[in-house]
């Protein structure tokens, strides 16, 4: 499979590899997997409690080159954004930036999932409602 | 819906008569690959792999019998036999030979066969995952990971260990302690993998026991169980592969 130059660049020179203390109040952790291929990705963010700006991001991905590049790019993109701004990053943005072929789209989905999961985790920790409305847990009506 | 009366015994029979059309050459009824009357090769039709072999959509497959059928058909469909035949027959033999290879490769492997059946039953794993992400984006709700979070944690941790072991290996260090640990890990993973395969065979039996005309409400639960299992398995398979790689001298 021929990787694009941008994928190769992130792959050979990944930005922000590493990990943060997942117990820290300011850190949100997203751990996600792609069952299509069995790859896993962890993405962590550190958020400024006052400004809600993501000040740092780290990732660790066990997976294909496109997944590594997607998560590396994701950490670059979320840095400096507020958590709400970061939620607007779409997998299709990653696909475009890295010129991913159709078979590698799920790798970019994985990166978007990781961003969302990390932000969701941070929100939960910090008592920020994921959504305006509070949804009461309701048993699904029997099928 | 008309009820197809497929006899129970068809389970392991390669019933080439399952699909019948009129033979292009003599007009009589033909089987999937050759006319039953005049024996002429028939056009290659788009067909699923089970149908290609005249098999019902069942998951317990007698692989030895499948192999025999494969060899028999590859001889009979071999393009060399049609080198001097009319253009269309030569073309069909090429197309059918390639269908045959794909069908055999897929059906002989338990995992590929299961995945294939799910696919032709309309399960679109990747589409589902993408749709779930779209939904999370729109509603702000969390996307539910399709495999249990504990398994993800475990997989991630094991990957970390494997990476360390791989680095050690590259540096020419063979830490006996670590290697012993890895052996243990390999055995655990293998046991897990075996257990998954047993579980899968259970679902195969459930699927195969469904009546021919079973409706969605019966089919879906079994399909879902198989999807969940294949999902979990892909992680275990990767780990088994990586552990073996590390342990290789
Ligand atoms: S191949 Fe699965 S994440 Fe890239």
Residue A23's pLDDT is what?
94
Residue B54's pLDDT is what?
85
Q: Which positions in chain A touch B160 (Cβ < 8 Å)? A: 60
B60-88: b (≥16 Cβ within 10 Å) or e? ebeeeebeebbeebeebbebeebeeeeee
For chain A, the three-class secondary structure string (H helix, E strand, C coil) is CCCCHHHHHHHHCCCCECCCCCCCCCEEEEEEEECCCCEEEEEEEEECCCCCEEEEEEEEEECCHHHHHHHHHHHHHHCCCEHHHHCCCCHHHHHHHHCCCHHHHHHHHHHHHHHHHHHHHHHHHCCCCCCCCCCCCCCCCCC
Position A125 pLDDT exceeds 90 = yes
Q: Do B126 and A91 touch (CB under 8 A)?
A: no
A64 classed as catalytic: no
Give the confidence band of B249 by pLDDT, cuts at 50, 70, 90.
low
Residue B181's pLDDT is what?
87
Q: Model-level pTM?
A: 0.78
Q: What is the ipTM for the molecules in this complex? A: 0.83
Question: How confident is the model over B3-33, as pLDDT tens digits?
Answer: 444 433 333 445 544 455 666 666 554 446 8
Q: Do A106 and B126 touch (CB under 8 A)?
A: yes
Q: Which atom of ligand 1 is nearest to the CA of A103?
A: 1
Position B164 pLDDT exceeds 70 = yes
Under 8 Å between Cβ of B107 and B100: no
% of chain B surpassing 90 pLDDT: 42
What count of CB pairs under 8 Å joins A to B? Answer: 80
Position B39 pLDDT exceeds 60 = yes
* CA-proximal residue: ligand 1, atom 1 (nearest): A64
Rank A13-22, B84-93, B126-135 by mean pLDDT and report only the highest: A13-22
- What is the nearest CA distance from B113 to chain A, expressed in angstroms? 16
Q: Which pair of tokens denotes residue A140?
A: 């699904």
- Look up the CATH number of domain B7-120: 1.10.287.110
Domains and CATH numbers, chain A: 5-124 (3.90.1010.10)
Q: Would you list the domain boundaries of chain B?
A: 7-120, 132-247
Q: Do A117 and B142 touch (CB under 8 A)?
A: yes
% of chain B surpassing 70 pLDDT: 87
Residue B212's pLDDT is what?
85
Mean pLDDT of chain B: 84
Position B209 pLDDT exceeds 80 = yes
Rank A59-63, B31-35, B149-153, B211-215 by mean pLDDT and report only the highest: A59-63
Name the closest residue on chain A to residue B131, using Cα atoms.
A109
Rank A127-131, B106-110, B137-141 by mean pLDDT and report only the highest: B106-110
- In angstroms, the CA B90 to CA B161 distance is 55
Under 8 Å between Cβ of A14 and A68: yes
Residue A134's pLDDT is what?
42
Position B197 pLDDT exceeds 60 = yes
Q: Which pair of tokens denotes residue B42?
A: 């028939």
Position A121 pLDDT exceeds 70 = yes
- In angstroms, the CA A40 to CA A33 distance is 4
Question: How confident is the model over A79-97, as pLDDT tens digits?
Answer: 999 999 999 999 999 999 9
Residue A128's pLDDT is what?
81
Length of chain B counted residue by residue: 249
């Amino acid at each position: 499979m021929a990787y694009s130059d941008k994928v190769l660049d992130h792959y050979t020179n990944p930005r922000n590899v590493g990990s943060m203390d997942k117990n820290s109040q300011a850190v949100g952790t997203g751990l996600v997997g792609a069952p299509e291929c069995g790859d896993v990705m962890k993405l962590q963010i550190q958020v400024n409690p006052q400004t809600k700006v993501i000040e740092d991001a780290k990732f660790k991905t066990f997976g294909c080159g496109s997944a590594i590049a997607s998560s590396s790019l994701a950490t670059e993109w979320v840095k400096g954004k507020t958590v709400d701004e970061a939620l607007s990053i779409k997998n299709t943005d990653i696909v475009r930036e890295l010129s991913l072929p159709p078979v590698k789209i799920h790798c970019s989905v994985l990166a978007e999932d990781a961003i969302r999961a990390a932000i969701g985790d941070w929100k939960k920790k910090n008592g920020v409602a994921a959504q305006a409305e509070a949804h009461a847990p309701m048993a699904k009506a029997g099928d | 819906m008309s009820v197809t009366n497929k006899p129970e015994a068809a389970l392991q029979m390669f019933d080439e008569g399952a699909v019948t059309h009129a033979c292009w050459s003599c007009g009589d009824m033909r089987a999937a690959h050759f006319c039953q009357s005049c024996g002429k090769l028939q056009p290659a039709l788009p067909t699923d792999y089970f149908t290609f072999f005249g098999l019902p959509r069942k998951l317990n497959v007698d692989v030895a019998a499948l192999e025999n059928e494969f060899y028999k058909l590859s001889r009979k469909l071999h393009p060399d036999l049609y080198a001097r035949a009319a253009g269309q027959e030569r073309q069909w033999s090429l197309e059918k030979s390639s269908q045959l290879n794909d069908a055999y490769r897929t059906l002989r492997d338990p995992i590929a066969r299961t995945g294939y059946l799910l696919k032709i039953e309309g399960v679109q794993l990747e589409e589902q995952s993408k749709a779930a992400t779209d939904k999370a984006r729109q509603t702000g709700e969390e996307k539910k990971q399709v495999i249990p979070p504990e398994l993800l944690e475990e997989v991630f941790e094991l990957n970390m260990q494997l990476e360390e072991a791989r680095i050690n290996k590259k540096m020419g260090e063979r830490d006996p302690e670590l290697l012993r640990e890895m052996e243990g890990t390999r055995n655990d993973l293998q046991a897990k993998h075996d257990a998954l395969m047993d579980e899968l065979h259970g679902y195969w039996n459930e699927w195969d026991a469904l009546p021919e005309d079973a409706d969605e409400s019966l089919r879906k639960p079994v399909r879902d169980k198989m999807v969940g299992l294949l999902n979990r398995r892909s992680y275990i398979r990767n780990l088994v592969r990586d552990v073996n790689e590390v342990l290789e001298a």
